[in-house]
Copies of this chain bind each other. A is one copy, B any other.
Amino acid sequence: MAVPTPDETILGLLAYQAQHGYQLLDTFQNPTQLGAVWHMSTSQIYAVLKRLEQQGWIQGQSVDVDDAPPRIEYRLSAPGQQRLDQWLNDPQPSASIRRVRVEFLSRLYIAHLLKHPAQALIARQRAACEVEHARLMTQREQSDSSIGGLALELHIAQIEAILQWINRCETRVYPPTHA
């Protein structure tokens, strides 16, 4: 899976409370919530839900309400909860620019929602980025001035920006206590 998928994020939302597709859609379209991170079309939400149910991580149940069409409410199963914990505690989060933006932010969002401590999560992400940074720095030594060299410089600049942002991000989530 090279590209981040919303799967675990949806597990997190369902861990917070059982929901149906349309409701999830709202969360992903509100720019002050996950809309700031993912762009998801209607059908994609439902496709993910179907996939998660097939995996056995969630299960849906049709619910009749009296002022709207019937809906399918999904709730997390035990294996789903396990998968979610695994994701939140991923010891080696990806350090790819794209995935930090999408996956790490989602992890933070879900952790906050579930009152899951975020500090360890942030620390692991920083560690992963530092490792990647070191790797790129050794690569830099044998780099030429080709397009590959430019790409490498850009990549390094982006990772460094992320590392600085993570530090600020941490003080924002856990503000230093005043003396």
Interface, chain A (partner B; CB < 8 A) = 31-37, 97-98, 100-101, 105, 108-109, 112, 144-148, 150-155, 157-158, 160-162, 164-165, 168-169, 172
Q: Contact check, A146 vs B97: say whether CB atoms are below 8 A apart.
A: no
- Quick one: copies of this chain in the complex? 2
Consensus secondary structure, chain A interface: helix
Bound-complex Cα distance A108 to B33 (A): 37
Q: Which residues does chain B contribute within 8 Å of A32, judged by CB atoms?
A: 144, 146-148
A168 touches B153 (CB 8 A): yes
User: CA A100 – CA B151 in complex, angstroms?
Assistant: 10
Contact yes or no, A147 B101, CB < 8 A: no
Are A169 and B148 neighbours in the complex by a CB distance under 8 Å?
Answer: no
Q: Quick check: A151 and B101 within 8 Å, CB to CB?
A: yes
